[in-house]
Structure 1
Amino acid sequence: MSLFSSPGQVAEALAGSGYLTDQAIATTVFLADALGKPLLVEGPAGVGKTELAKAVAAATDAELIRLQCYEGLDEARALYEWNYKKQLLRIQAAGDQSWDETHDDIFNEDFLLERPLLAAIRRDDPTVLLIDETDKADVEVEGLLLEVLSDFQVTIPELGTIAARRRPFVVLTSNAARELSEALKRRCLYLYLDYPSAERERDIVLSRVPGIEAALTEQLVATIGALRGLEIKKQPSIAETIDWARTLLALGLDTLDEETVKATLGVVLKHVSDQQRAVKELKLG
């Protein structure tokens, strides 16, 4: 069953969840849903990749299941593992029972611990599976993802092959810290998200920060654009733009002058070298 009927409906539904899209985003999300393909979203940190998956879940009343990737992630944490403590107690209670009987007892659903991938595959209701920061996982994890994303099924030796009851909408995100394999990319539709245009970021701030004046928002977005144009370690994310807008509201300010920018830089720049460069380059005194 499709979640969306058209790219226009995608844009409208996501906007209703607080996520403003453009034509490319709306069309790619629609096609990922219509074709039943995973969606690989790549781009700098803080441009809304994770938020896109959350917005799709919110817009469709789907359950969001998140697999956070990191170095050292293995099958037990991503797919499933057995409840070894419970199995040991069952073995101790088995008494004179034969091993074959005990084996069948301890390798069944009662002792299975679902992890995100298996949980998403076995759900009957609409589900959004977010595989976040895929590039942080080891290359070996990609082999596991290939099986899951190719056929939407997994094989558990003791239980057999488990196929998806209802295919989840899958979003993989990547900050491009390393190149993902071509085999994984072939199974996905691809969407690159960059920092938004000034006009779209202005609209995002106005929609997410009730009460902020349009003129102040224009000043804020222009300053953010100037900061992103500097050679700094970490460019301000969209979330930090929103935080800065809320900061200005909390301070009761209606204009963004040099003194205010300097005093509140810590909201958007989290490295002292970045703040020093901004003060120098933007001539904040």
Structure 2
Amino acid sequence: MRQEIKSHSFRTLLLLQLHCLLLVHLVESSAHLQIVTSKVGSRAVLPCSWKLRLEEAPPSPCHVQWRSPADTVFELWGTQKWQSEEFDGRAEIPEDKLESGDCSLIIKDAQIVDAGRYESFMVVNGVRSTKTRVFIQSVKLSVLDHKSLQTHRPGENLVLDLYTVHSERVVFQGRNSSEWSDLWKKGDKDCHRMEKNPLRDQLTIKKLERSDEGTYKVLDQHGLAVSTVQLSVDESSPPPKSHQIQEIQPLADDAAKNVCSALLLPVLVTTLQILHHS
């Protein structure tokens, strides 16, 4: 009898835990977290519409705040603007669209370190002339580096895209080596085999040799990879100077979340049914 009571208590506890897990999952799924994916150096738009939360238009001029978990990223109130040092000159809100509801945050020249969660707020009039901050939208930003495979013939040139003004150096690992060596640093003068395009964020390595085969990484000021190029130097390669194949990326966060939902919910429901009838 005591063993049956203990077994029943265990099943009840497990049933309760599964109910809680299912509830948490459903709450998270209903939060409608927006997912935005961008490449380093590209323009990222974090969507926001105050019409989702406010029944009437906020007082003019609109007062918008965008925050990360750590600090305020960007704030706009009429002609007054404020942005954090990390986003100096790179963040803006389309002022001409604010009245129609668009309070999206535009991040120019996106960087790996920009990745994370952002939340938008509208500051409106509260009771007794106080100001109230109303939550509008939560957005998760993913910033991906660039990856490619290239094949060139000996004597051809390799053009490395730096993608952003924040690229600081290029490192190289030979095909049969385990060590990385500095190939170029920002501010270096051109040499007979390496030249920086004065108008574009590009670095050209001239007259490739078989010894140039290997991996090239463009790094930013934080040492994070902006791009990775796997280079092969092959005399039998076809005439086109470069063949770039985009490396398969992992599932985007929203796709992964949908797959998880599709797998998790049936399993939980089946388990609950089994426990209920046991």
TM-score calculated relative to the size of structure 2: 0.26
The structure whose residues are more often strand, as a share, is 2
Q: State which structure, 1 or 2, has the greater radius of gyration over its C-alpha atoms.
A: 2
Question: More relative contact order in 1 or in 2 (CA 8 Å, sep 6+)?
Answer: 1
TM-score calculated relative to the size of structure 1: 0.26
